[in-house]
Structure 1
C-alpha cells in the first residue's frame, strides 16, 4: 500500500509539472534598460554620441539613429517572444534578432544572428546574418541558389509568406516569434507569415535594432517552451 501511494504521488506531481503553464517574463521592465546592453559603433570614437535606445512613457523606443543594437545580457533557447510595436511617425526599418552571438559579425555592425524583419510592409521576412535557415520554396523566396549566402554581398533575405498582415502606420502590431530547436515561426497580427527550419543556431541573445526609423515597443515578453507540443497555433 505504501509503495502504491508513493507511486501515485509521484505520478500526480509529474502530471502537475507537465500541465503547468510556463511563466511569461517581460524582457523590458517599462522603466529602464536593465537586462540589456547597447552596441552602437558610433559610440566607440565619440562617447557623447546619443544612445538611440531610450525609455519614454513606459515604452522602449528605438530612435533609429545612430545605427546599432540593443542586446539582452542573457542567452535564450526554446521560447516564444511576443512584441507589440509601431512606427508612430514615418514608417521605415527595424528588426528583432534571435540567436544572436558574435557582435559586429556583418558589416562591422550586425551581430551573428537570424533577423526577423519589422520593416514596414516587409514584416516577417528573414535576414540571414552569418547564420542560415531553410524555408519552403527557397529559390522563389530567396533568389537563385548560386547567389545565396550569409555574409556581405550575398542574397541573405528570405521573403515572408503574406502581404497585408501589418496594421496601418501608427497602429500597434503584434509579432510572435517562436524558436523551438532549429525551427523559427513568425506570426504578425495572428497570421503565420514565416516558417523556417534547419537553422544553424538554436540559442543566443535577443536584439532590437536601431536602423533608421523610430519604433516604439510597448511589450517584449518571453515565454519558455519546453516541448514542441507547447507551440502556438499551427500552419
Structure 2
C-alpha cells in the first residue's frame, strides 16, 4: 500500500514539471478588427528606407520595392526599411520566402531579418539600428541578434557563444548572437515561411512555421519601430501584420 501511495505522490510532483516544460503552441494568426496591415500590398506607405549608400548616390537602385503585390527586399544596397510608427505589446506575423535565383535557376538563400524595438538608426557599424533582430538567415531562423540592446535566455552560456574576453551585450565586440531552439523549422528555399513574434513588456517569443524557436526575457527595451533588412539576399514578404496584445 505504501508503495502505491509513494508512486502516486511521485507522479503528482512530476506531472506539473512535464507540463510546464512543454513549448507554447503557435498562436492563432487570424486577423482581428484590431489587426494592422503594415504592408498594404500596393506601396511602401507607412515605411521609410535607411540605406547608407544612398547618402552619396541619389540615383542608386532602391533596396526595397513592391512587386506583384509583395514587399521585396532586394538584398542590396544594404540597409533597412523601418515603420514610421512606434509599437509596443503586439503580435507580428510575417510571411516570407527567399526568392532570388542563381544562374542555374535554383533559389539563392542567405541573410535577412526582422528587427523589433528599433530606434536609433545606424547605431552599430554605422548600419544597424538599435534593436533586437529576429534572424531569418537560412538555417538560423529565430536566432536573436542584440544590436545596442540586450535580452536574456535560459542556458546563456550554451546558446550565446562568446570568445575569450567577450561579454554578453549588444555592442561591437560583444557576444550578440543567441541561438534558436530548433533545427529544421524552415521550409525548402523558395517556399513560404510564417514567422510569429510576440513582444509583450520585456519578453519576446518567436515561432517559425508552428515551431517555438526562441523566448527571451529581460529585454532592455519594450517598444520601438519595426524594420526589415536588406542584407545581401532577395526576400519577398506577402504579409506583415501587427495585432496589439494586452500589456502585462
What is the TM-score with the length of structure 2 in the denominator? 0.82
2:147 aligns with one of 125, 129, 137: 129
The separation in 2 between residues aligned to 1:158 and 1:227, in whole angstroms, is 25
Does residue 115 (structure 1) correspond to residue 126 (structure 2)? The answer is no
Deviation (angstroms), 1:45: 0.6
> 2:94 & 2:247 partners in 1: Cα distance?
22
Identify the match of residue 186 of structure 2 among 150, 158, 166.
166
Runs of 5+ consecutive residues of structure 1 not aligned to the other structure: 1-20, 229-235
Structure 2 unpaired stretches of 5+: 1-31, 100-106
1:103 to 121, 124, 127: 121
Q: In the TM superposition, what are the counterparts of 1:1-235 in structure 2 within 5 Å?
A: 23-88=34-99, 89-144=107-162, 146-147=165-166, 148-227=168-247
Q: Matches of 2:33 and 2:204 in 1, distance apart?
A: 19
Aligned length: 208
Give the whole-Å Cα distance in 1 for the aligned partners of 2:241 and 2:97: 16
Q: TM-score, normalised by structure 1?
A: 0.86
* CA distance in 2 between partners of 1:181 and 1:85 (Å): 26
Q: Structure 1 CA distance, aligned partners of 2:142 and 2:113?
A: 9
Runs of 4 or more, structure 1, over 3 Å off, are: none
RMSD: 1.2
* Residue 149 of structure 1, CA deviation: 2.4
| Contact 1:22–1:224 (8 Å) recurs in 2 | no
Distance (Å, rounded) in 1 between the aligned partners of 2:72 and 2:161:
34
